[in-house]
Structure 1
Amino acid sequence: MTNSAARSPHPAHGLGKGRRLVPPPGPRRVLAAAQLSNSVGDGAYYVTSALYFTHVVGLPAGRVGLGLTVAWGVGSLVGVPLGRLADRRGARGTAVLLALATAAAVASFLVVRGFLPFLVAACVYTSAQSGLAAARQALLAGLVPAGERTGLLAHLQSTLNAGLAVGAGLGGLALHAGTRGAYLAVFALDAVSFLLCAAVLLRLPPVPSAGTGHVRGPGVLRDRPYALVTLLNTVLLLRMPLLSLGVPLWITERTDAPAWLVSALFVLNTGAVMVFQVRMSRAVTGVASATRAIRRSGFVMLASCAVFALSAGAAPWVAAAVLVAGAILQVAAETQQSAGSWQLAFDLAPAGRTGEYQGFFGTGVTVARTLGPLVLTALLVGWGTPGWLLLGGVTLAASYAMGPAARRAEERRVPGVGSVPSAGAGSGVRRGQAAGMPAG
């Protein structure tokens, strides 16, 4: 990020020196405040939910896992229609309603005492969360010019990590107390955080909806080039459970490094994303720069996997140093891949359909969270060093394939249907035109 907006052709990347971690006043800062408000509650929820459902609700761990798997499967299916609803009925109103629905679902966890009520509540929760993510992206698209969205998304990612870190600390206090009241307080906090998120979103200006007759052409499910980009991004997202599952299992079962390093690497990742995500997103302004960033991330991820593999069999503190080096490379790959994928998700979607397309693109996160643990466990714990190298090789191949896939998706966008050429890609579209896009 440059120190002066006057020196940056992209205002979102050119915030003043004192605002490097805070977006400028207006809709950008309101969106960041909404992100912060619910991420604190989510952070507390994530670290306590498994023990709450098993120890307080009394469900067997296997049923909790099954219920959450089914629920996230349902959530991934409804993301597209809820995103389409945001496009056609208004992104702000839809986002507010889905934030309220999420709050209600979390609050219902306070009173569920059986598997079936838990499953219903979990399905409502995941559906509302998936739809809320798509509606927020449609809202962002309607309020922020095309060339500035990746910069803002980088700010939002940093805000998300900060909120999750604070929430995780509060959840840790509840875990330390270990009482039913402490767990209930965490879930109440998460419900309130989504109520606050809804209130903050109401401060945003309304964004015109596309309407039921404005958008023509096949839906996102028939847009094969965009589907291919989404599939490749899903492969790249398989690294999501790496620091929460893959590396911890690797450290404890394949290396002599101290077990507490698991926590240290997680803190390192969270802090690095908070500090460097905005900086890494500076140069990503269009399809071409996004695919370059993703290609670079593939090389860095391959190097990270190779370094992680070297920790096996080393002396404890040597292994620890190698693991830290691998984690630094991993977060460098993560921040570049994130910036590139955000840009592609917006630039390759037709105007007026961002909510629908973002709902589909977001299913990659759900798939990665579902399949990632299985893939990483098999590769890293089962295969060891060859598994690390295979993971890095697959990531590099997917990152290279993203270039031609994104170019084909860009070429397939049909003028006159609301398609907007990507900012910074030599399209010649004025910034004012992009800024006037309808929601979605």
Structure 2
Amino acid sequence: MRTERVPQGVRSQRVLAAAQLANAVGDGAYLVTSALYFANVVGLSATEIGLGLTLGWAVGSVAGVPLGHLADRRGPRGVAVLLALTTALAAASFVFVRSYALFVLVACLYGTAQTGLSAARQALLAGLIEPARRTVVRAVLQSTLNGGLAVGAALGGVALTVGTRAGYVAVFVLDALSFLVAALVLLTLPAVRPAPAAPGPRLAVLRDRPYALVTLINAVMLFYMPLLSLVVPLWIAQRTSAPTWMISVLLVLNTGSVLLFQVRVARRVRDLRDASSAVRKAGLVMLAACAVFALSPYGWVFLIAAGCLQVAGEMLLAAGAWEIGFGLAPDDRQGQYQGFFGTGTAVARMLGPVVLTTLVLDGGAVGWLLLGLTFMTAGAAMAPAVRWAERSLEAA
């Protein structure tokens, strides 16, 4: 019986998705339980936890570019495997934290390894998947990520229910094992040849002003990230009469929609023009979502409507941003460029909670509208910024 040979690109996509699923399960459990572990078991204050994690992601955002450059020059597969193992080590090290200084040190290692791993994986994807399919494959990986996070969050919920130190430790062990499995899975991918040394500065992305502008605009759009995890739960509790279980409904709505529709949305983005249009539409949809969130004190149905609009804007933004991040990066410098583009996520994680809670919880409906107008303005600014970066890339 003759068997069909699986094309190399399809096999690489499956392996990348398997690695993404493995570490997403560990990440989901970590995200649900880590704050309470640091507070209840280690004995850190909320301020200490927030400052330490912020510092960790700040260091990680700075390290992303040189680690991405290392992936370009040494080969992204080996660097990705090494950083996955480093992330596993950092996750396991949280179990031995007994002081604030050690907590900050491990948080910095964790943030650096995670940010560098993301850059190396994007370079690996760019090296294994043809340009026309990169955005769709990235959407598949994002859907896989959401599924893994949901499974991990459920496992983390079990640990929270148990409430013992052993339960929390099991979560960190699970997180470490998940990245160890991801490293072993990535080893089965074909090696990507390192890019030859190019003329010019070693970290050329730091001098690429058009790409920096595109990255800044994307970072502003990514400020939506703390909405469902922080701002909306506080808004529901303080400003509406909706039951608290509505928070779970919105989270399930979000993750389920991404699982079902993200790939379909991404298939409509075929080039930089489509990507710019998707980001512009995302800004408009985010404005509508913020306006409907502002109406939520008048009925829980507005929360559902706003949640639907928010996830639609999120998926449009993701598809457009992936195409822009890959399409405007030189082929021989994908690692460092993806590392730089990924700093937008770190910035949103660091500054988003403070900015959004101040703007929305203190500003009320006016704050929601100001936030929506910010999204709309940033979305509209992406197209001219992309055209500038495209001209700069062609000239280079």
* TM-score range for the pair, normalised by the shorter chain length: over 0.9
Amino acid at match of 2:330: P
- Which SS does the other structure have where 1:380 is aligned? helix
Match of 1:287 in 2: 272
Q: Are 2:345 and 1:360 aligned?
A: no
One of 343, 363, 373 as aligned partner of 1:383: 363
Give the C-alpha shift of residue 248 in structure 1: 1.0
Q: Are 2:228 and 1:214 aligned?
A: no
Match of 1:15 in 2: none
Q: Are 2:168 and 1:188 aligned?
A: no
Size of the alignment, in residue pairs? 388
- Which SS does the other structure have where 1:220 is aligned? helix
Match of 2:50 in 1: 65
Match of 2:151 in 1: 166
Match of 1:437 in 2: none
Q: Are 2:113 and 1:128 aligned?
A: yes
State the alpha-carbon separation in 1 of the partners of residues 380 and 331 from structure 2. Answer: 27
Q: Are 2:79 and 1:99 aligned?
A: no
State the alpha-carbon separation in 1 of the partners of residues 374 and 47 from structure 2. Answer: 31
Give the C-alpha shift of residue 215 in structure 1: 5.0
Amino acid at match of 1:52: Y
- The answer to whether the 8 Å contact 2:33/2:168 transfers is yes
Match of 1:392 in 2: 372
- The answer to whether the 8 Å contact 2:330/2:393 transfers is yes
Amino acid at match of 2:57: W
State the alpha-carbon separation in 2 of the partners of residues 144 and 60 from structure 1. Answer: 45
Match of 1:142 in 2: 127
Match of 2:217 in 1: 232
Counterparts in 2 of 1:19-418, with a 5 A limit? 25-211=10-196, 213-214=197-198, 216-217=200-201, 219-312=204-297, 314=298, 319-414=299-394
Give the C-alpha shift of residue 407 in structure 1: 0.5
State the alpha-carbon separation in 1 of the partners of residues 347 and 394 from structure 2. Answer: 29
- Which SS does the other structure have where 2:241 is aligned? coil
CA RMSD of aligned residues (A): 1.3
State the alpha-carbon separation in 2 of the partners of residues 49 and 258 from structure 1. Answer: 26
- The answer to whether the 8 Å contact 1:28/1:152 transfers is yes
With structure 1 as the length reference, what TM-score do the two structures score?
A: 0.86
Give the C-alpha shift of residue 298 in structure 1: 1.2
- The answer to whether the 8 Å contact 2:9/2:128 transfers is no
- Which SS does the other structure have where 1:384 is aligned? helix
State the alpha-carbon separation in 2 of the partners of residues 337 and 25 from structure 1. Answer: 25
Give the C-alpha shift of residue 87 in structure 1: 0.4
State the alpha-carbon separation in 1 of the partners of residues 209 and 94 from structure 2. Answer: 39
State the alpha-carbon separation in 2 of the partners of residues 380 and 252 from structure 1. Answer: 13
Give the C-alpha shift of residue 403 in structure 1: 0.2
Give the C-alpha shift of residue 59 in structure 1: 2.0
- The answer to whether the 8 Å contact 2:9/2:129 transfers is no
With structure 2 as the length reference, what TM-score do the two structures score?
A: 0.96
State the alpha-carbon separation in 2 of the partners of residues 126 and 238 from structure 1. Answer: 19
Cα shift readout 1:63-98 (whole Å, capped 9, x = no counterpart): 121111111110110000000000001100000000
State the alpha-carbon separation in 1 of the partners of residues 148 and 264 from structure 2. Answer: 19
Amino acid at match of 1:58: G
Give the C-alpha shift of residue 244 in structure 1: 0.7
State the alpha-carbon separation in 2 of the partners of residues 25 and 403 from structure 1. Answer: 32
Q: Percent identity at matched positions?
A: 60
Cα shift readout 1:263-301 (whole Å, capped 9, x = no counterpart): 110111011111110011111011000001111111111
State the alpha-carbon separation in 1 of the partners of residues 187 and 149 from structure 2. Answer: 23
State the alpha-carbon separation in 1 of the partners of residues 102 and 237 from structure 2. Answer: 36
- The answer to whether the 8 Å contact 1:229/1:406 transfers is yes
State the alpha-carbon separation in 1 of the partners of residues 93 and 176 from structure 2. Answer: 9
State the alpha-carbon separation in 2 of the partners of residues 24 and 164 from structure 1. Answer: 25
Amino acid at match of 1:344: I
Amino acid at match of 1:269: N
Match of 1:8 in 2: none
> Runs of at least 4 residues of structure 1 off by over 4 A?
none
State the alpha-carbon separation in 1 of the partners of residues 199 and 18 from structure 2. Answer: 31
Structure 2 unaligned runs (5+)?
A: 1-7
State the alpha-carbon separation in 2 of the partners of residues 274 and 24 from structure 1. Answer: 22
Cα shift readout 1:157-186 (whole Å, capped 9, x = no counterpart): 000000000000000000000011111111
- Which SS does the other structure have where 2:332 is aligned? coil
- The answer to whether the 8 Å contact 1:215/1:353 transfers is no
Higher helix share: 2
- Which SS does the other structure have where 1:43 is aligned? helix
State the alpha-carbon separation in 1 of the partners of residues 41 and 237 from structure 2. Answer: 29
